[in-house]
Amino acid sequence: MASIPNLNFAKWSQGTENEKAEFVKELGAAYTDIGFITIRNHGFGEEVQDELYDKAAEFYSLDKSIKAAYEIDGLAGQRGYTSFGKEHAKGNESADLKEFWQVGQPNPAYEGPEYHDNVSVNELPEFAPSFKMAYQQLEGIGRELLKVIATYLELDINYFESWVQGGNSILRAIHYPPITEDPGDSVRAGQHEDINLITLLMGASAEGLQVLNKQNEWIGITAIPGSLVVNVGDMLQRLTNGIMKSTTHRVVNPPREKWGTSRYSIPFFLHPVGKMPLNALGNCISDERPKAFEDITAGSYLEQRLIEIGLKK
């Protein structure tokens, strides 16, 4: 944990100009180094978090046939339920040991192929409203963090706003079920980088999340009470031409004596609208740092990655 700084978000949201500048510098230093931070005093309530985890556990305790009714063909898992073993890390054909539920944008920026209706759970009437409320709160925190990132990159503070307002963000409730037999090469989540701009993760219910540092060492990250884990995704890495790091991470299997336990995790993946260009910013390209990524839109990049992780054919 020593390599993952815990920053005080109140410096940005409530601080003086000097405190805001200090927060920008702290975040920029972390994102150009390891690509991960944790933040406290962010305004996302513990009671909302606890309610979401309770609701997720209720859903995953339903009979398999009931859950299967909420798996929608043709959406590549972008809404509703995705059953166990469907997703794998890019470049790894061994399935992740997880099932998940995805909630999307309740207020789309426009009518487009990336937007779909969210799904309600008939058996749990409070499930969808709870996730919608959390989605909107996390989206607000994420948009503020993008203002910090824009400031660090010497862009207009609102550079990201038109791209992320009504964007294609996803709130995902993940269940890693008890391991009942030798998993072979499969782990709860194979090593990967996130697809999106930034990810906000509220405290997972058990240990297992690890980040790969510059020394090629895996560092464990456990939930800090009252803090969110926030990391850089591939879209932001591409936009900044690699200045901000989309760091490899994974969720490892627990020790054998804990195989009989479930793990829950609820990340918010902040995506822009599909038509946002991810072309490297001009001020992030130089003779020392030549352009490293081809031009692509966020929508096309997402499509490419969904195929690579097995959710789309």
Burial class (CB in 10 A: 0-12, 13-18, 19+), 202: buried
Of 251, 293, 200, 270, nearest in space to 87 by CA:
251
- Judged by DSSP in three states, 34 sits in coil
| Summary count for the chain: helices (H), strands (E) | 8, 12
pLDDT values of the chain reduced to their tens digit, one per residue, 313 residues = 446 889 999 999 999 999 999 999 999 999 999 899 999 999 998 899 999 999 999 999 999 999 999 999 999 999 999 999 899 988 888 889 999 999 999 999 999 888 999 999 999 999 999 999 999 999 999 999 999 999 999 999 999 999 999 999 999 999 999 999 999 889 898 899 999 999 999 876 558 889 888 888 898 887 678 899 999 999 999 999 999 999 999 999 999 999 999 999 999 999 999 999 999 999 999 999 999 999 999 999 999 999 999 898 7
pTM for this predicted structure = 0.95
In whole angstroms, give the CA distance from residue 160 to residue 297.
14
Domains and CATH numbers, the chain: 6-308 (2.60.120.330)
Share above pLDDT 90 across residues of the chain, in percent, rounded to a whole number:
80
What is the structure's pLDDT at 223? 66
Contact 168, 115 (CB under 8 A): yes
What is the structure's pLDDT at 93? 83
Of 275, 282, 281, nearest in space to 298 by CA:
275
pLDDT tens digit string along 30-74?
999 989 999 999 999 889 999 999 999 999 999 999 999 999 999
Of 122, 112, 116, nearest in space to 69 by CA:
122
Sign for the pseudo-dihedral over CA of 139, 112, 81, 120? positive
pLDDT tens digit string along 120-132?
999 999 999 999 9
In whole angstroms, give the CA distance from residue 12 to residue 25.
11
In whole angstroms, give the CA distance from residue 111 to residue 243.
33
